[in-house]
Copies of this chain bind each other. A is one copy, B any other.
Amino acid sequence: MEPVVALVVLVALLEYIAFGMLVGRARGRYGVSAPAVTGHEIFERYHRVHQNTLELLVVFVPAIWLFGAYVDANWAAALGLVYVAGRILYLRGYVAGPAKREFGFGLSVLPIIALVGGALWGVARKLI
């Protein structure tokens, strides 16, 4: 993986780790003991932010890698940074209220779709 792409991947991993720590903190703050993952609305929001970021991260990492390898490393890194910023807005929006999660959701999903679509185009160009 190109260094500039690897850097953005590592930043996205750190962001996800931070979201996981916020879930742990919310467990204590709102009194939700393991193994439960429900019981307090605010805890559930932090938990859903973490889970949703997990759901995106499994696509983000291979997509940015393949886009970087088959299309362009700098564009891959730029799209990756939009994803990272979109996740921060998603966290802030969701914790304020589930209805406010839409903008950050879109801002983190759109670069992933661009990475997958671009990588598909780059790979197809090699194959045919």
Contacts and interface: CB of A to CB of B under 8 A. Distances in A.
Contacts of A54: 54-55, 58
B98 A35 contact: yes
A4 B66 CA distance: 12
Contacts of A17: 59, 113, 116
Interface residues of A, number: 46
Contacts of A34: 48, 94, 98, 101
Interface in A39-68: 41, 44-45, 47-48, 50, 54-55, 57-59, 61-63, 65-66
A10 interface: yes
A124 B35 contact: no
A48 B63 contact: no
A123 B3 contact: yes
Q: Is the interface of A mostly helix, strand, loop or mixed?
A: helix
Contacts of A33: 98
Interface of A: 1, 3-4, 6-7, 9-10, 13-14, 16-17, 20, 33-37, 41, 44-45, 47-48, 50, 54-55, 57-59, 61-63, 65-66, 69-70, 94, 98, 101, 113, 116, 119-120, 123-124, 126-127
